[in-house]
Amino acid sequence: MTRSSFSYRHVVSASADRPGPPSRRRAAALSLCLSLSLMGCQSVADTQAPSANGAATASAGETGAADQPNPGSSSQPSPAPSNESNSGSSNPPNSGASNEPSAQASSNGIDASTSRDSAEFDAWVASFRRHAAAEGIDRATLEAAFGQASFQPKILEYDRSQPEFSRQIWSYLDTAVSDSRISNGRERLAAHRDTASAVEREYGVPAEVIVAIWGIESNYGSNFGDFETIDALSTLGFDGRRQSFARDELMAALEILQNGDIDRDRMRGSWAGAMGHTQFIPSSFLAYAVDEDGDGRRDIWGSIPDVMASTANYLARAGWRTGQPWGAEVRLPENFDYAQTELDTRHSSQEWIAQGVAAVAGAALPDFAEASVIAPAGAQGPAFLVGPNFRAILRYNASTSYALAVAKLSDRIAGRGGIQADWPRSEPALSRSQIRRLQSALNANGFDVGTPDGLVGPNTRKGLRAYQRSIGTTPDGYPTQRLIQRLTGG
Ligand SMILES: [Ca+2]
């Protein structure tokens, strides 16, 4: 995404209303980062709240999460990770690896170095088993989990890959909110109407929003990843980029097996450990999964009632306000101060209206006590007024692109309209090296954006706006090839 700036923000502290894992697992779960493949989570690993699928909780309140969706979700053809500077360089686990080929790394054909790793893996597993036993996981569960644990080199490749180009938000939305995604969502909603309505009544989250998340996370269950979660997390815990996170999730996965919610063989999902229809990482499962159908198991792999209720429960715990819309598309006035287009800038709807912010034709502006205005593609693209429920969706996956996809897919499933303004589709996606050049040039010219990392976040946008003001162009903080050429002289 070119907007590569989609920054993933990490929450620095778990606020009271933020969903969080049960206490015992709190520290561990707090190390979740986003499921976004590129997000750098390392430096914040121990302080952030988890999102459902392992995505770092966006801080809708901190620096304004901007961002990119969860690559792993089946819905995304290609992971587009992008991230914010200062967040470290490691890749977060991807929640839904559904789009990746399921890597069945067999021991056949692996080279010598892999074989050596495999032997080391076995030793690591033996050590982890002892640790898990000391933590209270029983012998039968450990034998079921690790009796045939398999090292998956392919997962390490996914974990270490960093796409040079990320997708533009409109490209992501074209896929995430495609006509077929919309029609399939309506069909799924009709097919599960009674369940969805019951869950809506119980949790206060609209059925179309629940279905939209289901659609974005796993294309309505058609593709939630076929990696065995124990193998995936063992491999990542052994040699991944965020071993501490993976090990904590592996412990949570063992707890799930011990509880009897699912058998090891059916505990499947993305290469990064996000599981089932809703792409919950194990710690999120422990904290939010629900046994809606009453069979005694929380089954997000096979029970649609459990899937829907778990998703609704997550959003409810993330602060969903019953009866409120996520937000609305808006028109911004001439001379609008784009420095305000960050999620951490919040005003009441009335205050925004006083600045000239208006609903696009045919839409009503929701009355929010605290709302943000976002313009994900700058002044040349659509703008949106977003409220608490948009922020709740961001808790599921801390990416503005993701949250907008869920919001608009839910609108379309419910029969409401799509985005009216045009995206600046002629803007080419920027590569990480181009963004690094932009960042270096901004620093060199006195617009401090921190260490160049090729990822656009709040700091980069802030520096870019200052530069844009200095040359008399609209300071929207949206990086384009033209701006980079002007700033670098080519
Ligand atoms: Ca159940």
d(CA 207, CA 199): 7
Q: Is the pLDDT of residue 402 over 80?
A: yes
pTM of the model: 0.81
Task: Give the Å distance between the CA of 15 and the centre of ligand 1.
Answer: 30
> Among 33-37, 156-160, 400-404, where is mean pLDDT lowest?
33-37
Residue 116 pLDDT class (50, 70, 90 cuts) = low
Residue 314 structure tokens = 């997550």
The average pLDDT across 232-261 equals: 97
Q: What is the pLDDT of residue 351?
A: 98
Q: From the CA of 294, how far away is ligand 1's center (Å)?
A: 5
Cα 95 to middle of ligand 1, angstroms: 22
Kindly tell me if the per-residue pLDDT of 426 is higher than 50. Answer: yes
With CA atoms as reference, report the closest residue to 371 among 357, 416, 213.
Answer: 357
Report how far ligand 1's centroid is from the alpha carbon of 261 (Å).
Answer: 8
Report CA(301)–ligand 1 centroid distance (Å): 10
19: pLDDT strictly greater than 60: no
Cα(299) to centroid(ligand 1), Å: 5
Q: pLDDT for 291-302, tens place per residue?
A: 999 999 999 999
Write down the pLDDT at residue 166: 77
CA of 257 from ligand 1 middle (Å) equals 14
Residues 6+ apart with CB under 8 A from 11: 18, 44, 47, 48, 49, 56, 57, 58, 59, 61, 62
Cα(325) to ligand 1 centroid in Å equals 30
- CA 382 to ligand 1 center in whole angstroms: 41
CA distances from 384 to 132, 310, 349, 381 (A): 47, 28, 12, 10
pLDDT higher for 142 or 364? Answer: 142
- Distance of CA 255 from the midpoint of ligand 1 (Å): 17
Calculate mean pLDDT across residues 158-177: 91
The answer to whether 268 and 183 have CB atoms below 8 angstroms apart is: no
What is the 85 CA–ligand 1 centroid distance (Å)?
Answer: 41
Ligand 1 center to 203 CA (angstroms): 17
User: What SS3 string covers the chain?
Assistant: CCCCCCCCCCCCCCCCCCCCCCHHHHHHHCECCCCCCCCCCHHHCCCECECCCCCECCCCCCCCCCCCCCCCCCCCCCCCCCCCCCCCCCCCCCCCHHHCCCCCCCCCCCCHHHHHHHHHHHHHHHHHHHHHHHCCCCHHHHHHHHCCCCCCHHHHHHHHCCCCECCCHHHHHHHHCCHHHHHHHHHHHHHCHHHHHHHHHHHCCCHHHHHHHHHHHHCCCCCCCCEEHHHHHHHHHHHCCCHHHHHHHHHHHHHHHHHCCCCHHHCEECCCCCECCCCECHHHHHHHCCCCCCCCCCCCCCCHHHHHHHHHHHHHHCCCCCCCCCEEEEECCCCCCHHHCCCCCCECHHHHHHCCCEECCCCCCCCCCCEEEECCCHHHCCEEEECHHHHHHHHHCCCHHHHHHHHHHHHHHCCCCCCCCCCCCCCCCCEHHHHHHHHHHHHHCCCCCCCCCCCCCHHHHHHHHHHHHHCCCCCCCCCCHHHHHHHHCC
The mean pLDDT value of the chain amounts to 81
Q: Which of 486, 433, 438 is nearest to 460 (CA)?
A: 438
If you measure from the C-alpha of residue 189 to the centroid of ligand 1, how many angstroms do you get, rounded to a whole number? 19
Q: What is the largest CA-CA distance in the chain?
A: 68
Polymer length of the chain: 490
Is the pLDDT score of 381 beyond 50? yes
pLDDT of residue 364: 73
Residue 490's pLDDT band (cuts 50, 70, 90): low
pLDDT for 112 equals: 42
Distance 457 CA to ligand 1 centre (A): 41
What is the CA(400)–ligand 1 centre distance, in A? Answer: 32
Q: Ligand 1 centre and the CA of 312: distance in Å? A: 15
Tell me the CA–centroid distance for residue 224 and ligand 1, in Å: 18
The mean pLDDT value for 130-154 works out to 96
Tell me the one-letter amino acid at 355.
Q
| Tens-digit pLDDT profile for residues 348-372 | 999 999 999 999 976 679 999 999 9
**Distance, CA 298 to ligand 1 centroid (Å)?**
5
Q: How far, in Å, is the centroid of ligand 1 from the Cα of 152?
A: 30
> ∠ CA(415), CA(417), CA(419), 5° rounding?
145
The tokens for 204 are 């206060």
Distance, CA of 375 to CA of 394 (rounded, Å): 16
Statement: residue 329 has pLDDT above 50: yes
Per-residue pLDDT tens digits for 67-110 = 344 333 333 322 332 323 222 222 222 333 333 322 333 333 34
| pLDDT tens, residue by residue, 444-489 | 999 999 999 999 999 999 999 999 999 999 999 999 999 999 998 8
Tell which residue, 303, 338, 254, has the closest CA to residue 64: 338
The answer to whether residue 427 scores a pLDDT higher than 90 is: yes
Per-residue pLDDT band for 21 (boundaries 50, 70, 90) equals: very low
Between 161 and 415, whose confidence is greater? 415
Instruction: HSE, CB side, 13 Å, CA atoms: give it for residue 402.
Output: 45
Residue pair 287/21 in contact (Cβ under 8 Å)? The answer is yes
Average pLDDT over residues 144-163: 92
The span from the CA of 350 to the CA of 4, in Å, is 32
CA pair distance 37, 242, nearest whole angstrom:
12
Q: Ligand 1 mean position to 305 CA, how many Å?
A: 8
* Residues 364, 416: Cα–Cα separation, whole Å: 12
Residue 250's CB is within 10 A of a number of other CB atoms, namely 29
